[in-house]
A = this chain, B = another copy of it.
Amino acid sequence: MIKTIRPLHHPSPESITVTGILHALSDPVRISIVAELRKAEGGLNCIETTSRLQFSMPKSTCSQHYRILRESGLIYSERRGVELTSRVRRKELDSRFPGLLDAILKAWRKEQEG
């Protein structure tokens, strides 16, 4: 059996929607992943992210969260060896919806800090 590598889908900046972003970030695990990725300039793979967040979850669950984030346009993923490294599409997001991600992550931090 030949194992093919599925291409990764990244929406174009114009097809990123507000409701898509809100849906992707409406899950506590996913918003935490994005907050963590945003701090890491070079990007992070699933193992690195869950380790930094001290989350315990199967890699498949993490991959699924990454997929939802990627399809919403929030993150960009690329293969490095067998791992997928992802980063926040900061420039494109800031250009399409200035201030949106900042405001959401600021509110999230405030809530986390109690």
Contacts and interface: CB of A to CB of B under 8 A. Distances in A.
A7 B24 CA distance: 32
Given A97-B110, A97-B111, A100-B107, 5 more contacts: A19-B25, A22-B26, A26-B26, A99-B106, A103-B104
A108 B20 CA distance: 11
Given A23-B23, A23-B26, A26-B26, A18 B100 contact: no
| Interface bracket on A | 20 to 34
A99 B97 CA distance: 14
Q: Is the interface of A mostly helix, strand, loop or mixed?
A: helix
Interface of A: 17-20, 22-23, 25-28, 31, 97, 99-100, 102-104, 106-108, 110-111
A18 B113 CA distance: 13
Nearest to A25: B22
A17 B111 contact: yes
A104 B102 CA distance: 11
A95 to B, nearest CB: 11
Contacts of A28: 19
